[in-house]
Amino acid sequence: MGKNLQAIKQRFGIIGSSPLLDNSLGTALRVAPTDLSVLIYGESGVGKEVFSKIIHSLSPRKHNNFIAINCGAIPAGTINSELFGHEKGAFTGATSDRKGYFETIDGGTIFLDEIGEMPLDTQVFLLRILESGEFMKVGSNKLLKTDLRIIAATNVDLEEKVSQGKFREDLYYRLNTVLIKVPSLRDRPEDISILFRKFASDFAEKYRTTAVRLDEKAELLLENYNWRGNIRELKNIAERVSLMSEEKIITAEALIDSNPQLLERNLPAIPKRRGAGNDSSSFEEREILYKLLFEMKTDLNDLKSLVFEMIKRNDLEVPDLRNLKQLDAPSFPNAGNRDPFAEDRNRYASGNSNFQNTPPVFNENDNQPIIIENPDFDHAEEVEETLSLEAMEKLMIDKALKKYKGRRKEAADELGISERTLYRKIKQYEL
């Protein structure tokens, strides 16, 4: 299968080594010798028509005709005539008989692109051809037969169209005998640089100039772009850069100057909650705040554990906090005379500690345990802690970036936000 895939790629000019791409090509190779109906699913610009040509060229019908029809490009009023033909006088302007594609391509393969745009009445006629090979021209009552293979393609979710009543369920299952999913370009990041080099080489030959090359940062920029237009969009960018750039080594900055849309990242943004209105505190910002608060709580618990472990190991006496009148401690509602550290004291007394294996701290001079004296609270400097959401958010983002050494994707995963949102926040806070 590996040698066959390479041969097919060379024959049809397919570039890439993505496992997703190879899997789709492998399915096409296996189904080609059969006469089964095939449904090709993929976004616009991924090369669905190439797959249909591969299937036809490797089928027993390869010596017969092949035609590709874009169902979305034919007006609803004329598509039946285009596909099935019409009789003279069938409608205004029908001055003569006309054969449709299903009659002229008899014995071959017809590729129906954007099948989801086909009108419902045309879907009924297509279903009959799939089931029995029979059809009638527009304005005729004569039954005709055709023998052809139908390959359909779509860039929309046909199941959703079925649930909306815009596509026939029986036709969907009849077409979907074999499903081939063509991966989008953003799902094949390992192929983007190779494709760019191929396009740049082609344009250099076309315009008789030296092919441009990308530096490392420019390649990373392309690999993380969303690629709504897929291969078509990449080809357009390669041509634009080949023509407009004076330098032959393309940097990320040069790419952004001519293609500012490349700043969009390869991860979707977290959607805002419904009914949020114009609330300035967005969903992703609140997520960062919640994560920060949880981490602060964890740090506080660790600090309490460390203090009580040191008290336990050094056999220290801790005064009752209720008797420390000099401390202007905040009051806690419904606390009464309860010792706020009683629960922690009992937990450490029972040996249930996260720091059971922590060695005691000794002074290097006398090998005696360090005694922690009561601090002078009267002369302690009071530091006002900021409660700004932006400051806390900036702190959390900076901490995540340092933890993962600037790797934004891992930092975004840690923060629970999209990489696109993280990139925007980095620019906002100038991190």
Q: Which residues make Cβ contacts (< 8 Å) with residue 284, sequence separation at least 6?
A: 269, 270, 417, 418, 421
pLDDT at position 290 is 62
pLDDT at position 263 is 82
Domains 2-183 and 188-263 are alike in CATH topology: no
pLDDT at position 279 is 47
pLDDT at position 386 is 54
Quickly name the fold that domain 188-263 has: Helicase, Ruva Protein; domain 3 (1.10.8)
Which stretches of the chain score pLDDT less than 50?
A: 267-281, 324-333, 335-336, 353-367, 369-378, 380, 382-383
Question: In terms of pTM, does the model score above 0.75?
Answer: no
Per DSSP, 261 falls in state G
Handedness of CA 69, 72, 78, 81 (dihedral sign): positive
**Cα 41 from Cα 44, distance rounded (Å):** 10
Task: Determine whether domain 2-183 maps to CATH 3.30.70.20.
Answer: no
Q: Which residues make Cβ contacts (< 8 Å) with residue 70, sequence separation at least 6?
A: 113, 114
**Cα 81 from Cα 118, distance rounded (Å):** 13
**Cα 24 from Cα 194, distance rounded (Å):** 19
**Cα 74 from Cα 80, distance rounded (Å):** 10
SS3 content of the chain, % helix, strand, coil (to 5): 50, 10, 40
C-beta atoms surrounding 178 within 10 Å: 17
pLDDT at position 265 is 59
User: Letter for the amino acid at 35?
Assistant: D
pLDDT at position 64 is 95
pLDDT at position 286 is 62
Say if residue 5 is exposed, middle or buried (CB neighbours under 10 Å; 0-12, 13-18, 19+): middle
C-beta atoms surrounding 87 within 10 Å: 18
pLDDT at position 332 is 47
The domain segmentation of the chain, as residue ranges, is 2-183, 188-263
Tokens of 4: 């066959």
